[in-house]
């Protein structure tokens, strides 16, 4: 992974783009919300669809709960060892764009514009993917593929937030088990999560392509088994030449899940399986020295995983 060969070599930055409309007042697109780099011959960019800021950063206690299997005293002990007594999670929504020989691919699409599900104060902080793409010289018609690590709304809503596909020329890819789970009216899928997932499935229609694990779905873009968070949750591995990047989706939300890989969250639909997947992902990243893209880590969400005794630690890659 290197910083050469950046995206955005076009000269049509001024074209009108329907994917965002005007950016929220006071929150112009900033270069700080975009990181350009390459993986072998692949030109890549990370675009923040949003980055939670104080006072809207969620509490760690909302993610690592007794009901999810994390004892309160264990969480308090971990917080005491955190720098500055950290008790919140600096949640990011880091969307990855990759120029492949088959066209531009967007891996996860954020929450989209006009999102009120976390309260009106959050809405201006998210929905910035489209404006970020426009800043790189792309329009809504440019993405040829949308790769969804899973169908939770903070990954898929950005592709459908307006009630129609945000990227009308794109084929969407999601794991077959993921599509089947959210499509099944008889499943035990949580009600508040089912609606947004089914909306994405409906709007993509025939352009939603089911895929399997360990498959090259686009040139240099491979799927990796990361099931547990959802039934078809998948990681994505970019491989070009000698360079690689492992995109882990929601395999972990916070660095505390590296030092405590057994910690689950309320959003892990199969907690035990999610722990096994997380350990497998972390083991591989550490053993193979893989650069990692973590969707919810603070922007840009790039780092290395290093072994630390029987657990791991996160080492950010800084630009």
209-219 per-position pLDDT tens digit:
999 999 999 99
CA dihedral sign of residues 282, 284, 290, 292: negative
Are 127 and 33 in contact by the 8 Å Cβ rule? The answer is: no
Element (H, E) at 99: strand 92-100
Q: What is the mean pLDDT of residues 67-85?
A: 94
Range from 141-155, 175-189, 197-211, 247-261 carrying the lowest mean pLDDT: 175-189
Tens digit of pLDDT for each residue in 44-66? Answer: 999 999 998 888 899 999 999 99
Whole-number pLDDT of residue 164: 96
Looking at residue 23, what is its pLDDT? 37
Query: What are the backbone angles phi and psi of residue 50, rounded to the nearest 5°?
Result: 170, 150
User: Which pLDDT belongs to residue 12?
Assistant: 32
Measured CA to CA, the distance from residue 281 to residue 254 in angstroms comes to 15
pLDDT of residue 297: 97
Distance CA 130, CA 33 (A): 12
Helices (H), the chain: 60-63, 72-80, 129-135, 153-156, 176-183, 191-204, 256-259, 271-287
Q: What is the mean pLDDT of residues 29-41?
A: 83
Answer yes or no: is pLDDT of 319 > 80: no
Q: Label residue 31 by pLDDT band (50, 70, 90).
A: low
Is the backbone of residue 8 left (phi > 0), alpha (psi -120 to 50) or beta?
A: left
pLDDT given at position 192: 86
> What is residue 124's three-state secondary structure?
helix
Rounded-to-integer distance, Cα 171 and Cα 93, Å: 21
The string of pLDDT tens digits covering residues 269-316 is 999 999 999 999 999 999 999 999 999 999 999 999 999 999 999 999
- The chain-wide mean pLDDT, for the chain, equals 90
Per-residue pLDDT tens over the stretch 89-142 = 999 999 999 999 999 999 999 999 999 988 888 888 999 999 999 999 999 999
**Amino acid 30: pLDDT:** 52
Residue 230: pLDDT above 90?
yes
Confidence of residue 185 (pLDDT cuts 50, 70, 90): confident
Number of other CB atoms surrounding residue 226 within 10 Å:
28
Cβ atoms < 10 Å from Cβ of 98? 27
H/E segment holding residue 45 = strand 42-51
Reduced to 3 states, what is the DSSP secondary structure of residue 152?
A: coil
Banded model confidence at residue 28, pLDDT cuts 50, 70, 90: very low
Which residue, 295, 296, 294, 314, is CA-closest to 304? 314
- Report the chain's C-alpha Rg in angstroms: 18
pLDDT of residue 22: 37
Q: Looking at residue 191, what is its pLDDT?
A: 84
Alpha-carbon span 71 to 135, nearest angstrom: 44
What percent of the chain has pLDDT above 70?
A: 90
Hey, which residues does 42 pair with through a beta bridge? 39
């Amino acid at each position: 992974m290197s910083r050469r060969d950046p995206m955005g070599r076009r000269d049509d930055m001024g074209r009108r783009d329907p994917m965002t409309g005007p950016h929220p007042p006071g929150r112009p697109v900033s270069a700080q919300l975009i990181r350009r780099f390459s993986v072998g011959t692949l030109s890549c960019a990370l675009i923040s669809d949003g980055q939670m800021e104080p006072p809207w950063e969620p509490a760690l206690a909302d993610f690592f709960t007794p009901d999810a299997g994390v004892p309160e005293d264990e969480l308090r002990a971990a917080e005491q060892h955190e720098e500055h007594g950290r008790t919140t999670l600096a949640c990011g929504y880091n969307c990855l764009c990759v120029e492949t020989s088959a066209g531009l691919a967007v891996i996860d699409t954020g929450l989209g514009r006009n999102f009120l599900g976390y309260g009106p104060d959050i809405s201006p902080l998210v929905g910035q993917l489209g404006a970020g793409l426009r800043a790189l010289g792309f329009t809504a018609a440019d993405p040829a593929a949308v790769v969804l690590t899973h169908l939770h709304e903070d990954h898929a809503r950005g592709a459908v937030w307006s009630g129609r596909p945000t990227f009308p020329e794109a084929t969407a890819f999601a794991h077959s088990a993921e599509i089947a789970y959210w499509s099944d009216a008889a499943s035990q899928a949580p009600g508040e999560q089912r609606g947004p997932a089914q909306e994405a499935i409906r709007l993509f229609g025939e352009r939603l392509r089911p895929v399997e694990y360990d498959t090259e779905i686009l040139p240099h873009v491979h799927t990796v088994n990361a099931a547990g968070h959802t039934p078809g949750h998948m990681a994505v591995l970019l491989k070009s030449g000698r360079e690689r990047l492992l995109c882990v989706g929601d395999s972990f939300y916070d660095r505390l899940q590296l030092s405590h890989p057994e910690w689950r969250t309320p959003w892990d639909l199969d907690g035990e399986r999610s722990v096994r997947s997380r350990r497998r992902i972390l083991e591989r990243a550490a053993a193979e020295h893989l650069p990692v893209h973590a969707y919810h880590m603070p922007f840009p969400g790039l780092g290395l995983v290093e072994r630390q005794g029987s657990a791991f630690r996160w080492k950010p890659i800084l630009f």
